[in-house]
Structure 1
Amino acid sequence: MGAAMDREDFVKLVGQELGVSSWITIDQSQIDAFAHATNDHQFIHVDPDRAKRETPFGGTIAHGFLSLSVLSGLAYEAMPTLNGAAMSINYGFDKIRFLTPVRAGKRVRARFALAEATMKSPRELLARTSTTLEIEGEQKPALVADWLGMHFFA
Structure 2
Amino acid sequence: MLTINNYEEYAAHLGKDMGFSQWHTIDQEQINKFADATLDHQWIHVDEEKAKTEGPFKSTIAHGYLTLALIPYLWKQIADVRNIKMEINYGIESFKFGQAVLVNNEVQLKAKLKSIANLRGTTKVVIEATLNIKDQTKPAYTGDVVFLYHFI
* Shorter-chain TM-score above 0.5: yes
Taking only the aligned residue pairs, the percentage that are identical comes to 35
The two structures have a TM-score, normalised by structure 2, of: 0.95
Question: Would you say 1:25 and 2:4 are equivalent positions?
Answer: no
Contact persistence 2:116–2:125 (CA under 8 A) = yes
- Extract unaligned runs of 5+ from structure 2: none
Partner-residue secondary structure (3-state), 1:3: strand
Letter of the 1:109 counterpart: Q
What is the deviation of 1:150? 0.4
Question: Would you say 1:151 and 2:142 are equivalent positions?
Answer: no
What is the deviation of 1:59? 0.5
Letter of the 1:46 counterpart: V
Cα root mean square deviation, aligned: 1.2
The whole-number CA distance in structure 1 between the counterparts of 2:135 and 2:93 is: 26
Contact persistence 2:4–2:79 (CA under 8 A) = no
Question: Would you say 1:74 and 2:68 are equivalent positions?
Answer: no
What is the deviation of 1:42? 0.3
Partner-residue secondary structure (3-state), 2:77: helix
What is the deviation of 1:43? 0.3
Letter of the 1:6 counterpart: N
- Extract unaligned runs of 5+ from structure 1: none
Name the residue aligned to 1:101.
100
Contact persistence 2:97–2:141 (CA under 8 A) = yes
The whole-number CA distance in structure 2 between the counterparts of 1:34 and 1:129 is: 25
Partner-residue secondary structure (3-state), 1:44: helix
What is the deviation of 1:72? 1.1
The two structures have a TM-score, normalised by structure 1, of: 0.94
The whole-number CA distance in structure 2 between the counterparts of 1:120 and 1:101 is: 37
The whole-number CA distance in structure 2 between the counterparts of 1:119 and 1:3 is: 19
Letter of the 2:125 counterpart: A
Name the residue aligned to 1:114.
113
Residue-pair matches, total: 152
Alignment of 1:1-154 (within 5 A): 2-81=2-81, 83-121=82-120, 123-154=121-152
Partner-residue secondary structure (3-state), 1:50: helix
Q: Which runs of 4+ in 1 moved over 4 A?
A: none
The whole-number CA distance in structure 2 between the counterparts of 1:93 and 1:4 is: 22
